[in-house]
Amino acid sequence: MERVYPQLLHHYAEADVAEKVVCYGLIFAKKSLESFSPEEAIRAAKMVIDLQEEVDGGNAALEGETRIVLGSAYRMAGNMEAAFKEFTAACAIFERMGESRKLLSAIVAAAETAWESRRVDESRKWVEKGLQTGRDSGETAGLTKLLSLGATLANLRGDSNVAKGYLEEVERLILHY
């Protein structure tokens, strides 16, 4: 199936079958990311976002998921500003929905993108925003990433006590699971 997703997407887009474009577009965007083809992922994800309102009246969860995929594709392509914009939009969607695990995933992506872009203050803001969400959600992988990044940022500020606290929390999480 993976080899025919591009053809299916193109076929259904040409035929104006929005429901199938949304279905196959998101699958193809994810597969394109897995194969390190960000341009294909960007094109497919944009098609999904453009048509998903028409298909289901604006399924917020689908839009949030697609924006994370689009942000990841932009990040892979090196367009950090566009990536950051998509992750921020996904955060807003998942926050409105009360989806803490998906929100945490979007926050981690936003924090890491800010860090990679050398936007230290912005990264710190996202880490601080995500820590409580991560603790509340019980999702340890995302929380561990935020704590590790938070420790790095705290060390850069010279706040070794905060860094130590974050690293001790990471250790407790790792030993607990």
Three-point CA angle 35, 36, 40, nearest 5°: 90
Give residue 22's pLDDT: 87
- Give the tokens for residue 138: 């019980």
Helix, strand, or coil here: 174?
Answer: helix
Residue 52 CA to residue 21 CA, distance in Å, equals 9
Give residue 147's pLDDT: 97
Give residue 33's pLDDT: 95
Residue 96 CA to residue 22 CA, distance in Å, equals 22
CB of 142 closer than 8 Å to CB of 130:
yes
Global pTM value: 0.88
Give per-10-residue mean pLDDT for the chain (177 aa). Answer: 73 78 89 94 92 78 95 97 97 95 96 96 96 91 96 96 96 85
Residue 90 CA to residue 20 CA, distance in Å, equals 23
Give residue 9's pLDDT: 76
Give residue 20's pLDDT: 85
Sorted by where each starts, the structural domains of the chain and their CATH numbers stand as: 1-97 (1.25.40.10), 99-177 (1.25.40.10)
